[in-house]
Amino acid sequence: MPLFPTERSVRTTPEGLLWEPSERWVRGRKGDVTVVDSRHPVLVWEPDVPVPLYAFPREEVRTDLLRPAKNPPTGRHTGSRIFYDLEFDGDLLENAAWTFPADDLAGHIAFEWFRRAGRGLDHWYEEEEEIFIHPRDPHQRVDALPSSRHVRVEIGGTVVADTHRPVLLFETGLPTRYYIPREDVRLGLFEPTDHSTGCPYKGTARYWSLRGGAVAPPNIVWSYPDPLPEVAAIKGRLAFFNEAVDITVDGESLERPVTPFSRMLRPRA
């Protein structure tokens, strides 16, 4: 029976992988060379990894550029034992691709994304839009909503931001983030850092740390100077890690959530 458009077709393998066919046209490039050109990609979720990756039918991959890996890794990508090096124009990218052991995914090849793992293909496109870090999860939703809530942020008992005009960003699986206008943040208490991160849903963020702040982790504040159109409302606003600051919303103190970011948010010695 064909699936209705609103139904999901996520499937599970005995190895614990989740996978789902995608109807997006996906291309992967290394420099000017197109290595993947697929109209039949598959999204794959590995156990304990919150974001998906793509695997592609072998016939939609430039397999002539792949060589059996000289130094295949162990313990990576859910039991995968077959890895490939990517070689062209005299360059060699070790372990740039692999196959999963699951019978359901036989005949498919997955690739690393450079900005996610520091190796692999460096440009990816869904249709005509370039995407970064990892594929967008079709089960993930991100909404940026202007609000009139009263939001106050404190670090070590000091009020560092106070606003009645935040933008609330709701992202599946993460706590609500409060994006505050710059003029409502005591930005003089912070100093910019060289740190930056990329997000396939929001864009590229820059960061600030508390000046001389042993009471706060580094890179506690971030902003998207040029966010993606879907979240344009957060442009230039500042957000704080709920996991490491004290936030009060409409007079109610929020508990600090525990998230995958909590481990890296430790105050400086």
Q: Is the pLDDT of residue 104 over 70?
A: yes
* pTM as predicted: 0.80
Question: Which pLDDT value is given to residue 133?
Answer: 83
Round to the nearest angstrom and report the end-to-end CA distance of the chain: 60
List, edge to edge, every strand of the sheet that includes 190-199: 190-199, 203-210, 221-223, 238-240
Out of 36-45, 52-61, 110-119, 141-150, pick the least confident: 110-119
* The CATH classification of domain 142-264, taken from the options 2.170.150.40, 3.40.1160.10, 2.60.40.10, 2.60.120.10: 2.170.150.40
Region 62-70 average pLDDT: 95
Question: Which pLDDT value is given to residue 2?
Answer: 41
- Residue identified by tokens 């409502």 is 184
Out of 1-10, 106-115, 153-162, pick the least confident: 1-10
pLDDT in tens, 214-244: 688 999 999 999 999 999 999 999 999 999 9
Out of 14-18, 204-208, 229-233, 249-253, pick the least confident: 14-18
Give 47: exposed, middle or buried? Use CB within 10 Å, 0-12, 13-18, 19+: exposed
Q: Is the pLDDT of residue 124 over 80?
A: yes
Q: Is the pLDDT of residue 120 over 90?
A: no
Q: Which amino acid is at 72?
A: P
Question: Which pLDDT value is given to residue 83?
Answer: 94
* The CATH classification of domain 11-131, taken from the options 2.170.150.40, 1.10.3470.10, 3.40.50.2000, 3.30.70.20: 2.170.150.40
Question: Which pLDDT value is given to residue 112?
Answer: 87
Confidence of residue 115 (pLDDT cuts 50, 70, 90): low
Q: Is the pLDDT of residue 7 over 70?
A: no
Distance CA 58, CA 38 (A): 10
Q: Percent of the chain at pLDDT above 70?
A: 93
Domain ranges of the chain: 11-131, 142-264
Task: Name the H helices within the chain.
Answer: 114-117
Q: How far is CA 43 from CA 1, 26, 72, 182, in A?
A: 22, 11, 23, 38
Distance CA 99, CA 109 (A): 5
11-131 shares its CATH topology with 142-264 = yes
Contacts of 9 (CB under 8 A, 6+ apart): 3, 20, 21
Question: Which pLDDT value is given to residue 95?
Answer: 92
pLDDT in tens, 36-57: 999 999 999 998 888 899 999 9
pLDDT in tens, 157-199: 999 999 999 999 999 989 999 999 999 999 999 999 999 988 9
